[in-house]
Amino acid sequence: MTEIPENIRSKRIVREQYFFRGNAACPGCPIPKELDLMLEIMGKKTVLVVPASCSTVIMGDIHGSPSTVPVIHSAFAAAPAIASGVSRQIKLKGEDAKVVVWAGDGATGDIGFAGLSGAAERNEDMIYICYDNEAFMNTGIQRSSLTPYGAWTTTTPAGKREFKKPLPFIMMQHKIPYVATASIAYPFDYQGKVRKAKEIQGFRYLHLLSPCPPGWRFDSSLTIEIARLAVETGIWPLFEVLNGKFSLTGISKTLLEKRKPIEEYLKLQGRFSKLDKKEIEIMQEAVDSMWEDIRKMTN
């Protein structure tokens, strides 16, 4: 593990580095920081299972930067099954290591969804984290089921016509012990949810919105601002569901009645640059409808 000078350690949110600097992530990519924040809470006794994704490139190719915890790289659909087996073997050996699946939206909501649903239905003892950059980014920015309505991708050049699959809400229906959403713009909220998930037994699911500068077509200096606007406009609500009880977290607790218009989030991203007024109204109506559903769950 890379040591950080003490005069810098006290001023940083992340006090230890689990990935060596100079990795193969794109400029502005939040994935290395998201991994660092997660592993700072999970600790060294963590086994990562990573299906094919941007993280595979960051950690695994000839320019990659390996993690300081064990990593199993898997095929797209296999991560939940592999993690299930590893978790059970760890228990049989009486060890206290934790198993974390770290997967993109394509491996989670599309190619790997059957395995994910099966592991959740069996309540396997693992933490599953989907870092959602809303397309198959490392293979060429192709549409996924978690790509939002209206977004440009290389396979939806005129903008996607379908809405984003509401995966955190779908995972809620599996009746697993813990479901939560998070954002890199709110690291304490994110780390608090990882800490809570670590202390729970059974299947825990975290869904982390992960802005992608080349895929979403924004300047790499805007990653955190865009992540924050996703929350402030209500497109990405922060919440958790603990043993079936739903609650908003962080700044989202103040957004039931009033949120920023979604144009503030959309206008910074080239993937939405061709939307017309009607399409933006459709998206705003969908966000407002989701919040009406959230209101019912909070009552």
How confident is the model over 49-60, as a mean pLDDT?
88
245 class by beta-carbon count within 10 Å (0-12 exposed, 13-18 middle, 19+ buried): exposed
Question: Would residue 218 count as lying in a domain?
Answer: yes
Question: Would residue 3 count as lying in a domain?
Answer: no
| pLDDT in the model for residue 98 | 97
Tokens matching residue 186: 């709110």
Question: Would residue 180 count as lying in a domain?
Answer: yes
Domain of residue 250, CATH code: 3.40.50.970
- Res. 12: pLDDT tops 50: no
Alpha-carbon span 216 to 132, nearest angstrom: 12
**pLDDT tens across 132-181, in order?**
999 999 999 999 999 999 999 999 999 999 999 999 999 999 999 999 99
- Res. 186: pLDDT tops 70: yes
Q: Which domain holds residue 19?
A: 14-298
DSSP letters, the chain, are -B---HHHHTT-S--SBSB-SS-SPPTT--HHHHHHHHHHHH-SSEEEEEESSHHHHHHHSTT---BSS-EEEE-TTTHHHHHHHHHHHHHHTT---EEEEEEEHIIIIITTHHHHHHHHHTT-SEEEEEEE-SSBTTTT-B--TTSPTT--BTTBTT---SPPP-HHHHHHTTT-SEEEEEETT-HHHHHHHHHHHHTS-SEEEEEEE---HHHHT--GGGHHHHHHHHHHTTSS--EEEETTEEEE-GGGGG-SS----THHHHTT-GGGTT--HHHHHHHHHHHHHHHHHHHHHH-
Verdict on whether the full-model pTM lies above 0.85 = yes
In terms of DSSP bridges, do strands 245-248 and 239-242 run parallel, antiparallel, or are they unpaired?
antiparallel
Confidence of residue 22 (pLDDT cuts 50, 70, 90): confident
- Res. 66: pLDDT tops 80: no
Question: Would residue 2 count as lying in a domain?
Answer: no
Question: Would residue 9 count as lying in a domain?
Answer: no
Instruction: Please tell me the total count of domains within the chain.
Output: 1
- Res. 286: pLDDT tops 80: yes
How confident is the model over 188-215, as a mean pLDDT?
98
Question: Would residue 6 count as lying in a domain?
Answer: no
| pLDDT in the model for residue 57 | 85
DSSP collapsed to 3 states, 24-78: CCCCCCCHHHHHHHHHHHHCCCEEEEEECCHHHHHHHCCCCCCECCCEEEECCCC
Question: Would residue 8 count as lying in a domain?
Answer: no
Alpha-carbon span 273 to 157, nearest angstrom: 12
| pLDDT in the model for residue 64 | 59
Of 212, 209, 204, nearest to 57 by C-alpha is: 212
| pLDDT in the model for residue 86 | 98
Question: Would residue 4 count as lying in a domain?
Answer: no
Confidence of residue 68 (pLDDT cuts 50, 70, 90): confident
**pLDDT tens across 222-268, in order?**
999 999 999 999 999 999 999 999 999 999 999 999 999 999 999 99
How confident is the model over 45-74, as a mean pLDDT?
84
Residue 217 dihedral angles phi and psi, to the nearest 5°: 60, 60
Helix 187-198, helix 31-42: angle, nearest 10: 40
Scan for tokens 């192709």, then name that residue: 142
